A and B are shown apart, each in its own frame.
Chain A
Amino acid sequence: MKELRGKTNRLADESGVITLDFIFALSIAFGFSILFFAVSFTLSMVEVCQYITFSVARTYYAANVSEQAQQDIARQKYDELKGKGAFKTILKTGWITLGDVQLGNASDDFPPGPKESDPVFVGARIPFNAKVLDLRIPFLGRTVQNSTTGQATLNAFLMREVSTQECQAFDSQRLSKLKELNSLYQSFGSNEVVITDNGC
């Protein structure tokens, strides 16, 4: 009788149910918490990286001796921003990755606008990939099936100021055209001096 009572009590004991509930609920809640963290982290990092892209585009924009010099200083700025402080640590985790910055005219990647000849897509582009979004949640599966999810290209098209080299080439070309206008102008030799005021 005593033995039977013991068995009945064991069946009526519900103390293990809460443990099972806890394990199941904790797995799901933890999974979703990680997922929401990944989404908010990605969006925050997009904001930071967009500022970096803007900063690189702004550096690329400023006049310099040549376009190559403008590109070099923009890349230098990019490396400097990537390699500093907390952002450097975040990049080291591999949760997000940033590709090489692309500088120049990106018109080929966009459909033609109302003014097709205008190179309005001149600036900086940085490939962004949020690998942190690719998670495996217990019981529910993977969060990413398409490998392009989490990828985006950050754009900042601020145009570019004319470089000194381009300005001098333009002036030289203009001088040749002026000389062609009239035979009298041909008498101009090499005595003329071209003065540029940091712009054409």
Chain B
Amino acid sequence: MRRARNQSGQMTIEAILIMTILTAVSIALSRYFQNQGLLADVIEGPWKPVQGMIENGVWASGDKAKAQHPSHFARHSSNAGEDITGK
């Protein structure tokens, strides 16, 4: 009877329980991050417009960026010259 009333081990069991839950939650969160690729989104998301800026000088991605490359502008060097008087 005395042994049953002894509460000295309760704290240890609770501590183990809390540690188990916290570890499980941490592992679950870690797996969620990895499966969803959340960290990859931090790099891969911004990389596409950055790539557009590196390659074509515009904040756009893929073919949209290529279509806006400055070499498409009519103001590049030309033998014919351009009428700037507006006539």
Contact = CB atoms under 8 A, between A and B. Distances in A.
A4 B8 contact: yes
Nearest to B41: A145
B34 A141 contact: yes
Best-buried of B8, B38, B39 by chain A (most CB within 10 Å):
B39
Contacts of A118: 76
Interface residues of B, number: 31
A140 B34 contact: yes
A133 B50 CA distance: 13
Nearest to B12: A11
Contacts of A69: none
B65 to A, nearest CB: 10
Contacts of B50: 43
A72 to B, nearest CB: 25
A144 B51 CA distance: 15
B30 A121 contact: no
The binding surface of chain B is classed by DSSP as helix
Contacts of A39: 43
Given A142-B40, A143-B40, A50 B47 contact: no
A143 B39 contact: yes
B72 A144 contact: no
Interface string A142-159: 111110011111110101
Interface string B33-73: 11001111011100100110011100000010011010110
Nearest to B64: A111
B1 interface: no
A27 to B, nearest CB: 11
Contacts of B33: 139-141
Contact of B55 (A11, A43, A155): A155
Nearest to A7: B8
Interface string A92-125: 0000000000000000011101110010110000
Contacts of A140: 30, 33-34, 38-39
Given A11-B11, A159-B77, A113 B71 contact: yes
A145 B51 contact: no
A137 interface: yes
Contacts of B55: 152-155
A54 interface: no
* Closest 3 pairs between A and B when the two form their complex, measured CB to CB: A141-B34, A113-B72, A120-B71
